[in-house]
Chains A and B, each alone.
Chain A
Amino acid sequence: MTERILLVEDDERLGAQIIEHLRGAGLTPTWLTDGNQALYEDPRPYSLIILDLMLPGAYGLDILKHLRTTCDVPVLILSARNDTHDKVRSLELGADDYVTKPFWPEELLARVQARLRRPSLQRDGLIEIGALRLDVVGRSLEVNGAPVELTPVEFDLLTALAKRPGAAIQRGWLVDNVLDPEREGTERTLDVHVSRLRKKLGAASKQVATVWGVGYRLLTDAPG
């Protein structure tokens, strides 16, 4: 089942392009060219609504207001106006994001997917990412089903990364929040810990990715 996206865009060429990109990303788009149609459309079946503000006939913010009275579906505003006041107003009225033109197709998709991303389910302190399965409470790790023994620091390190899967975490932050404060660890120390952790993860080590100039990231899937 793919996500349903509602696009309200009056420009023929731009609208066609956006629809093409959304389809290419595996989403199911519906396209309305008339703002008034949007008022009669039931928003609830959709996972995301992309709304162009500059619509002829209907004032985009009024449609936004209307949508907010009926549902909580995330709304992404498209606008040619790079105006702070417009952005503030849209956000005040309940929009979730504001994309200014011109934009790259990948850019729009990235923003759409960011809104569609579900928070990682952490039922009972269990985090499953790729081949890894962490029990935060029990402080145990399974890699491809097999348990792996980690030192407390290594476990804390992995957990810190796992709690924000896909996001890059700064070295400095990890040093401050993961390493033992009494030990006065440095970034060097951190790198050593990561190196050791990778070794223990074996085949899944690639999930722990280095981010240049930043730190580390836990990938949701092992690359390649």
Chain B
Amino acid sequence: MNGIIFNVQKFCLHDGDGIRTSVFLKGCPLRCKWCHNPESQRAAPELMYHQNKCTACGSCVGVCQAREEIVPDRTKCVACGGCVDICPNNANELCGKIVTTEEVMAEVRKDKIFYQTSGGGMTVTGGEPSAQPEFTLSLIRAAKNEGISTAIETCGYGSPDFFRRAAELEAVFLYDLKMMDSDRHKALTAVSNTLVLDNLRMLMNMRADITLRLPLIPGVNDTSGDLSALVSFLKENDGRFRHAEIMPYHTLGTGKAAAIGRTAAVYEEGEKFTDCWLKTFEELGYKVFSSK
């Protein structure tokens, strides 16, 4: 089975229990304005041009149809990779590679001894795992056959059939809840949250292992109304998930957005609001944690 990924990262400590290897899938149906992996949104391979590594030597111009000058014209780039090979400074990078399930597993299984001693495993993330449903399920199945557990980081916007089958394979869910208000959800992520909530309820009914992730972006989705709405939902479903973690917004994605030729919306750094948010949740009647 083939899929498209853009990274495999080892020794991940914040993507589920224990020590994990995270497999980053390329492609996501959402377009969250605060996304810190903007290079994961489009499903096709794309060029990342790192200006900070470029010495303007011009080697790339000669081999590239999208370059009359050093900064590429994104409308003409076909992600052929020619500029990647020729650049002496590794300033060009092709983000996104087609791989087979076995190629991924060959990397994932290398750290099996660490999964065993830490209660860790594989995490499928991205991008959005449910956007490549068969590939993701084949990874979960392959991992399971080797005694490796899988966690899925997901926004929940995918086919219910995928989520059901993943839960049947005993995948563990790290599930985003970005916004309870459906209209504002659509304005900020490009999709409504109906499907997201339906899938979540289905998983809770199936008694799947769920940790809720609440990305909080200062001034965007942390109004008292937003937080109250979240608290209502959490209270209503208390006991049907492990716990909820707030994820304060950070600016790490902005450099990567530039590298793929986009400008990212920039918001205020979230970390300094962490304690205040945690207190607010508690005052509103539901204790949440920060993802530390």
Q: Does B associate with A?
A: no
* Residues in chain B within 8 A of chain A (CB atoms): none
